Amino acid sequence: MPNTKSAIRRVRRVNTQTSVNRIRKNKYKSIIRKINLLIEAKKKEETVKLLPKLNSQLMKIAKVGVIKKETASRKISRLTKKINKL
């Protein structure tokens, strides 16, 4: 349990940050799932349309620090390679 006022505020702030970060992660993970399903269905046009949306989502959350920039770049690169193979 936090003992000081600042520690109590910090706990409150961490809880809100955690929930916001969880929402952000779920957004990009759902887009990745959609793209993977479209890749399996071999629908290249639709995946190409979703790729910029994924790119911006990943770079936004990487900028904030939810995931690392290298992780975002790696995910974009791997998905782009999969799409190009179609």
Cβ atoms of 11 and 3 within 8 Å: the answer is no
For 20-50, letters b (16+ CB in 10 Å) and e give: eeeebeebbeebbeebeebbeeeeeeebeeb
Residue-level pLDDT at 86: 85
Domains of the chain, each with CATH number or no CATH: 5-85 (1.20.58.110)
* Confidence check: pLDDT of 7 > 90: yes
The residues near 47 (Cβ < 8 Å, ≥ 6 apart) are 35, 38, 39, 83, 86
pLDDT digit string, tens, across residues 28-43: 999 999 999 999 999 9
